[in-house]
Amino acid sequence: MKRLLTWLGLALGLVVVVLLGFVAFLWFAPYPSYEPVVPAVTVASTPERVAHGRRLALSLCVACHENPETKTVSGKLMADMPPEFGTVYSKNITQHETQGIGGWTDGELLGLLRTGIHPRTGQFVPPWMPRFNRMADEDLESIIAWLRSDDPIVAATNQTNTAGSPTLLTKFLMRVVMSPTEMPSQRIDVPSTANMQEFGRYVANDRYSCFGCHSADFADQDEVRPENSAGFYGGGMTMPDLVGRAVYVPNLTAHATNGLGKWTEAEFVQAMSTGINRNGKPFRYPMARHNMLTPEEHAAIYAYLRSVPVLEGTPSSTPEYAESAEKGPKGLYFKHGCAGCHGATGMGAASLLKAHGKYPDDSVLADVIRNITRYNPEAWMPEYASVMSESDATQLALHVRTLCSKR
């Protein structure tokens, strides 16, 4: 018996040493590397492609890469990244020859977007950078055409890329759970709108990857076959807003009480276009109104979501901010969800300094708050006119001035 215990102790000690060695390897090793895939392709630029690519990029790329200081896609701190992933900075994807992607070929860009492998270093990109392995070639080529365009937001910007601080979980996911995706063996076409359900499946899964946030767990998703992802469109995850509050991701299946079962197509299209739910409440950051999608795309997504397996999920009600109970402009600022995107100080993902300086007249600024589309049709901010009084907007305008005066 004594000898058996000795051997068991040695075996246990060996297991501990191996585990510690593996953890040390994950911690100190760089991101895994693979052989880059660089297809021989040259993207022809047309005005139609650039316009289409810009529309896609405003929903897929700009929110993460746009720097509020440079007003270009030169990269920034991802303040809303779940802490489990560590400190994250997006990359400079402007046309700068060395700091950005100005020196890259079209094939290098396409290879990175398809596989997730950096074409110059071979490193596997972290999990927060999507891999568009199922997106139609025309869509990807349009994004590349836009990146090469004269749009001011992609103009060469000499901003150095900042290295992040990934957690052990991130490194584990990249070494053990995730792997690069393969280049498609043939061109992928956008499905015809004659079949709205199939077109909606493409828009939701392959173009915008809505399931990525609206499934059960970031770590248990299938990038190749999204339908195999745990809790597919059942929601349930929590994501932080810019004041650290946990926002519940809603169930998008047709469940009668916890999902979209009682929503009409018109209600869904209206909510997605305006950022205001059927209950009159604004979307909570990091969700934004997807006004860059067409009503047809929204209707197609709705048709597709009605077809996915219904999951009970969990009720997705996010508690109100405690500050919402306060009287006066500050309470309204939290009540209407402004803090979720702009932060408690107004210097969040979208800096209020821009509005403060651009609209010095209080009545105009109040109108901007209620009718953002009138002033900036591409803004992600909800269209508040139907749910916010002119009085509330006036008080919010004063609060914006107060926040900005403290800078």
C-alpha 363/C-alpha 67 separation (Å) is 29
Asked whether the whole model's pTM tops 0.75, one would answer yes
pLDDT at residue number 353: 81
Tell me 44's DSSP state. Answer: P
- Domain end: 148, 177, 206, which one? 177
C-alpha 313/C-alpha 234 separation (Å) is 5
E strands within 279-349?
A: none
Q: Are residues 296 and 332 in the same domain?
A: no
Nearest to 92 by CA among 104, 105, 80: 104
Contact 95, 102 (CB under 8 A): yes
| pLDDT at 344 exceeding the cut of 70 | yes
Highest mean pLDDT among 26-35, 94-103, 124-133, 165-174: 94-103
Q: Are residues 209 and 279 in the same domain?
A: yes
Q: Are residues 164 and 268 in the same domain?
A: no
Q: Which of 138-142, 148-152, 221-225, 289-293 is least confident?
A: 221-225
Q: Do the domain assignments include residue 317?
A: no
pLDDT at residue number 339: 87
Q: Are residues 271 and 365 in the same domain?
A: no
DSSP run (H or E) holding 240: strand 238-240
For 353-369, what is the mean pLDDT? Answer: 90
Alpha carbon 87 to its chain centroid, in Å, reads 16
Q: Do the domain assignments include residue 39?
A: no
Q: Are residues 165 and 55 in the same domain?
A: yes
Integer-rounded Cα radius of gyration of the chain? 23
Q: Do the domain assignments include residue 296?
A: yes
Q: Retrieve residue 284's tokens.
A: 């909570």
Direct distance between the N- and C-terminal alpha carbons of the chain, in angstroms, rounded to an integer: 72
Query: Residue 79 burial (CB < 10 Å; 0-12/13-18/19+)?
Result: middle
Q: Do the domain assignments include residue 256?
A: yes
Tell me 291's DSSP state. Answer: T
Tell me 351's DSSP state. Answer: B
Q: Are residues 210 and 137 in the same domain?
A: no
Q: What distance separates the 2 farthest-apart alpha carbons in the chain?
A: 86
Q: Are residues 69 and 172 in the same domain?
A: yes
Q: Do the domain assignments include residue 258?
A: yes
DSSP run (H or E) holding 147: helix 137-147
Q: Within a 10 A sphere around the Cβ of 294, how many other Cβ atoms?
A: 13
Domain CATH code at residue 369: 1.10.760
- Domain end: 278, 305, 332, which one? 305
Q: How confident is the model at residue 78 (pLDDT cuts 50, 70, 90)?
A: confident
Q: How confident is the model at residue 56 (pLDDT cuts 50, 70, 90)?
A: very high
- Domain end: 177, 207, 238, which one? 177
Q: Do the domain assignments include residue 314?
A: no
Q: How confident is the model at residue 188 (pLDDT cuts 50, 70, 90)?
A: very high
Q: Are residues 272 and 371 in the same domain?
A: no
Q: Are residues 214 and 254 in the same domain?
A: yes
Average pLDDT value for the chain: 89
Q: Do the domain assignments include residue 32?
A: no
* Number of domains the chain contains: 3
User: Could you tell me the residue range of the domain that residue 338 belongs to?
Assistant: 322-405
Q: How confident is the model at residue 111 (pLDDT cuts 50, 70, 90)?
A: very high
Three-state secondary structure call for residue 369: helix
Who's near 48: CB < 8 A, 6+ residues apart? none
C-alpha 142/C-alpha 47 separation (Å) is 10
Contact 140, 57 (CB under 8 A): no
Q: Are residues 262 and 152 in the same domain?
A: no
pLDDT at residue number 223: 83
Three-state secondary structure call for residue 88: coil
Q: How confident is the model at residue 316 (pLDDT cuts 50, 70, 90)?
A: low
Q: Are residues 137 and 205 in the same domain?
A: no
Amino acid at 98: T
pLDDT at residue number 240: 80
Q: pLDDT digit string (tens) for 115-157?
A: 999 999 999 998 778 889 999 999 999 999 999 999 999 999 9
C-alpha 101/C-alpha 99 separation (Å) is 7
Place of tokens 């992609």: 154
C-alpha 32/C-alpha 19 separation (Å) is 19
C-alpha 327/C-alpha 93 separation (Å) is 43
Q: Do the domain assignments include residue 376?
A: yes
Nearest to 12 by CA among 4, 2, 24: 4
Q: Are residues 154 and 230 in the same domain?
A: no
